[in-house]
Amino acid sequence: MAEPIIFDDGGSTRIKRLLPGTGIGEMDSLLDVDDLTSPAGARGSDHTVNDAFSKVLIVCQDKTGAFTLSFSGFTKVDLSSSLDQQLSAEMVAGKLKITAFSTVSDPIVESKQHKKKRRYVVSNSGPIETVSVDGKLVYDTRPGGTLPAGAARPVLYTSVVLT
Average pLDDT over residues 64-91: 96
Rounded Cα gap, residues 76 and 39, in angstroms: 14
pLDDT at 11: 83
10 — pLDDT class (breaks 50, 70, 90) = confident
- How far, in whole angstroms, is CA 121 from its chain's centroid? 10
Q: Which structural domain range is residue 25 located in?
A: 5-162
Question: What is the pTM assigned to this prediction?
Answer: 0.94
Section 93-121 average pLDDT: 95
The CA distance from 22 to 56, in Å, is 25
Tell me how far apart the alpha carbons of residues 91 and 76 are, in angstroms, rounded to a whole number.
6
Q: Tell me how many domains the chain contains.
A: 1
- Average pLDDT, integer, range 45-57: 96
